[in-house]
Chain A
Amino acid sequence: QKEVEQNSGPLSVPEGAIASLNCTYSDRGSQSFFWYRQYSGKSPELIMSIYSNGDKEDGRFTAQLNKASQYVSLLIRDSQPSDSATYLCAVNTGYNQGGKLIFGQGTELSVKP
Chain B
Amino acid sequence: KAGVTQTPRYLIKTRGQQVTLSCSPISGHRSVSWYQQTPGQGLQFLFEYFSETQRNKGNFPGRFSGRQFSNSRSEMNVSTLELGDSALYLCASRTGDDTEAFFGQGTRLTVV
Contact = CB atoms under 8 A, between A and B. Distances in A.
- Which of B98, B99, B102 has the largest number of chain A CB atoms within 10 A? B98
A91 to B, nearest CB: 11
Contacts of B98: 31-32, 51, 92, 99
A100 B33 contact: yes
A43 B100 contact: no
Contacts of A34: 100-101
Nearest to A31: B98
Contacts of B35: 103
The 4 closest A-B pairs by CB, nearest first: A98-B55, A32-B98, A103-B43, A99-B97
Contacts of A100: 33, 45, 48, 55-56, 58
A95 interface: yes
A46 B100 contact: yes
A94 B103 CA distance: 21
B90 A44 contact: yes
Contacts, number: 62
Nearest to B90: A43
Interface string B83-112: 000000010101001111111111000000
A102 B97 CA distance: 12
A95 B48 CA distance: 13
Main SS of chain B's interface residues?
A: strand
B73 to A, nearest CB: 18
A82 interface: no
Contact of A44 (B48, B56, B94, B103): B103
B33 A43 contact: no
Interface in B3-46: 33, 35, 42-43, 45
A98 B99 CA distance: 13
Interface in A7-43: 31-32, 34, 36, 42-43
A111 interface: no
Nearest to A105: B42
Contact of B55 (A42, A43, A46, A99): A99
A95 B101 contact: no
